[in-house]
């Protein structure tokens, strides 16, 4: 997060730099050239400019997502400084008080004019609470912005990925709650319906209706949001949307008015839990149950790709949810069909250097492939599972690992991004490749041939040192909670409606 601090005294400048410099992209600003030189002499970079001028902040790229902290020395009015900051486009503005003083003689004057500017004391900052406060303020401001943006729309589409899973459905419910919509005014939709037994069971038990949408129906909606998926997934069908909320690595190839993409989170439901909490939204038992189940499902009960945000969201949702209903939804995992494909995978597979690879051949549904990959990872002495199958005219490859070795997302991108779509996280990844392109690169789709080709690719990838691997890493181990990265971008309200073209 970018932060600009307007400092009146060297002591406050040093304390701000010490408290925030390692966590934020911090720029210090002062009008005192002597103080600036002294700070530079001790290794604290500081800009000199008039804090009462708008262009001082424009030169520092201050915008809606920039946090601006203004020191109140108690001797001067802050009105002109605050007016310049607001006029530059800042929305997250804090006045910092020092010496135990909460209000100066000038406080009442500017607070009446700048109601959205918050007071915070230096003691609170040094206790470490400022970062938490800033993160929540940023989330709240952005949620309120997209709420206003969607408010005057007659028809809203909340679009999920094909074959929606628990995280997608729960995120759809949460966003509809945030937009203060009903199923009539905000449709939760997908281009392809559900096939997995546990997903259909969840939809039935929680009365979640996911409507089928078509390319022809897209222009009928005034606003479009995607959750748990980004528009590139739809192969060029959506060139522009109004909101994207997702926990997968960020992709390009589309424009959006708002986005909140956090690849270090274990589920999209975690992100939307923070959105709901930031505006004190009323969360129904039904929505809380769906989101709790989604977090459990996407993180394998908080054991895979989980950070502090996921744990906090789970703790918050648990007393609001129906735990018995969550257990009932979890009871749909094993079917005879799935056991048949596990058997097929075991019979066709091979284990090499703790990597289990197998090709399932022709597969009626995509969900069977990741199910087999998850199952095989449970085998003793297996640390990676790589499972492929042919679904209609595509080869689907699902990769799982224990999360502490090389990155699964990097593996699929290194091996398959030149012939199809590939990406994922450290512990789980996926590639979707046209059959013709797979044949061109690998020569055929025979079970033994594909199984051995996958094993060879894994051996080569895992034998490389990380320094020789693809440097464009999109996923890192979680080190704790991070601030929201939602940004306002793209065309504004009133611009041309969404244009569509046939899906590639």
Per-residue pLDDT tens digits of the chain, which is 504 residues long: 788 999 999 989 998 888 787 777 899 999 999 999 999 988 898 999 999 999 999 999 998 878 899 998 877 788 899 999 999 988 888 888 876 555 555 555 677 788 778 887 777 666 555 666 667 777 888 899 999 999 999 999 999 999 899 999 999 999 999 999 999 999 999 999 888 777 888 999 999 999 999 999 999 999 999 999 999 999 888 989 999 999 998 888 899 999 999 988 989 999 999 999 989 999 999 999 999 999 988 886 665 666 788 888 999 999 999 988 887 887 656 778 888 999 999 999 999 999 999 999 999 988 899 989 989 998 988 999 999 999 999 999 999 998 767 889 999 999 999 999 998 888 889 999 999 999 999 998 999 999 999 999 999 999 886 654 443 344 433 333 333 445 444 443 334 333 333 333
Residue 494 falls within a domain, yes or no? no
What confidence score (pLDDT) does residue 7 get?
93
Give me the pLDDT at residue 471, please.
38
| Domain end among 291, 312, 331 | 331
Tell me: do 13 and 58 sit in the same domain. yes
Residues 316 and 340 in one domain: no
Residue bearing tokens 């019979």: 347
pLDDT of residue 341: 94
Do residues 338 and 364 lie in contact, with contact meaning Cβ atoms separated by under 8 Å?
no
Strand segments, DSSP code E, in 296-402 are: 350-352, 355-362, 384-391, 394-401
* Distance separating alpha carbons of residues 357 and 375, to the nearest angstrom: 12
How many angstroms separate the CA atoms of 41 and 37, rounded?
6
Report which DSSP code applies to 77: -
For the chain, count helices (H), then strands (E).
Answer: 18, 19
Q: What's the confidence (pLDDT) of residue 292?
A: 94
Q: What pLDDT, on a 0 to 100 scale, did the predictor assign at position 336?
A: 85
Domain assignment present for residue 29? The answer is yes
Looking at the fold, whether 15 and 155 belong to one and the same domain comes out as: no
pLDDT at 500 (0 to 100): 36
Tell me, yes or no, whether 319 and 417 share the same domain.
no
- What pLDDT, on a 0 to 100 scale, did the predictor assign at position 465? 61
- Both 22 and 110 in one domain: the answer is yes
Q: Is residue 495 in some structural domain?
A: no
CB 14 within 8 A of CB 36: no
pTM, full prediction: 0.59
The CB density around residue 389, as the number of other CB atoms within 10 Å, is 26
70 in any annotated domain: yes
Q: Domain span at residue 9?
A: 2-127
User: For the chain, how many structural domains are there in total?
Assistant: 3
Q: Are residues 119 and 260 in the same domain?
A: no
- Pairing mode of beta strands 394-401, 384-391: antiparallel
Whether residues 102 and 41 fall in one domain? yes
- State the pLDDT at residue 272: 97
> What do you get for the CA distance between the two ends of the chain, in Å?
37
Six-digit token pair at 334?
A: 């094993």
Q: 311, 331, 351: which is the final residue of a domain?
A: 331
* pLDDT attached to residue 2: 83
């Amino acid at each position: 997060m970018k932060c600009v601090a307007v400092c009146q005294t060297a002591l406050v400048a040093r304390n701000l730099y010490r408290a925030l410099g390692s966590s934020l992209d911090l720029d210090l600003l002062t009008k005192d050239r002597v103080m600036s030189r002294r700070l530079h002499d001790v290794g604290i970079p500081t800009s000199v400019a008039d804090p009462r001028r708008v262009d001082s902040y424009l030169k520092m790229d201050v915008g809606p997502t920039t946090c601006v902290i203004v020191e109140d020395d108690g001797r001067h009015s802050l009105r002109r400084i605050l007016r310049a900051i607001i006029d530059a486009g800042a929305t997250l503005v804090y006045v910092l008080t020092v010496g135990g003083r909460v209000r100066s003689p000038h406080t009442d004057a500017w607070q009446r004019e700048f109601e959205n500017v918050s007071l915070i004391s230096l003691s609170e900052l040094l206790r470490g609470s400022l970062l938490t406060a800033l993160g929540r303020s940023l989330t709240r401001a952005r949620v309120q912005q997209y709420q206003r943006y969607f408010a005057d729309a007659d028809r809203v589409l909340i679009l999920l990925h094909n074959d929606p899973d628990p995280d997608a459905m729960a995120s759809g419910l949460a966003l509809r709650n945030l937009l203060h919509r009903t199923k009539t005014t905000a449709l939760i939709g997908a281009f392809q319906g559900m096939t997995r037994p546990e997903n259909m069971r969840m939809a039935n038990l929680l009365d979640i209706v996911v409507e089928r949408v078509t390319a022809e129906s897209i222009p009928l909606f005034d606003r479009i949001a995607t959750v748990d998926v980004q528009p590139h997934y739809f192969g060029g069908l959506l060139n522009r949307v109004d909101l994207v909320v997702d926990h997968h690595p960020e992709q390009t190839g589309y424009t959006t008015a708002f986005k909140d993409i956090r690849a270090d989170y274990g589920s999209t439901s975690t992100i939307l839990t923070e959105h709901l909490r930031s505006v004190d939204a009323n969360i129904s038992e039904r929505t809380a149950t769906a989101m709790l189940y989604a977090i459990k499902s996407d993180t394998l009960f908080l054991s895979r790709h989980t950070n502090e945000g996921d744990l906090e969201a789970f703790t918050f949702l648990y007393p609001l949810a129906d735990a018995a209903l969550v257990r009932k939804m979890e009871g749909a995992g094993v079917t005879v069909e799935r056991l048949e494909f596990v058997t097929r995978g075991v019979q066709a597979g091979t284990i090499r250097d703790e990597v289990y690879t197998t090709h399932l051949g022709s597969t009626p549904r995509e969900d069977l492939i990741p199910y087999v990959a998850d199952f095989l990872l449970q085998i003793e002495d297996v640390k990676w599972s790589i499972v492929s199958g042919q679904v209609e005219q595509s080869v689907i490859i699902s990769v799982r690992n224990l999360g502490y070795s090389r990155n699964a997302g990097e593996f699929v991108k290194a091996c398959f991004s030149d012939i199809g779509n590939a990406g994922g996280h450290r512990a789980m990844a996926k590639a979707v490749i046209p059959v013709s392109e797979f044949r061109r690169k690998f020569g055929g789709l025979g079970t033994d041939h594909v199984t051995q080709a996958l094993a060879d690719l894994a051996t080569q990838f895992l034998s490389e040192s990380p320094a020789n691997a693809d440097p464009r890493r999109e996923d890192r181990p979680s080190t704790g909670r991070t601030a929201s990265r939602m940004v306002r971008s793209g065309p504004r309200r009133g611009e041309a409606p969404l244009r569509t073209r046939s899906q590639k």
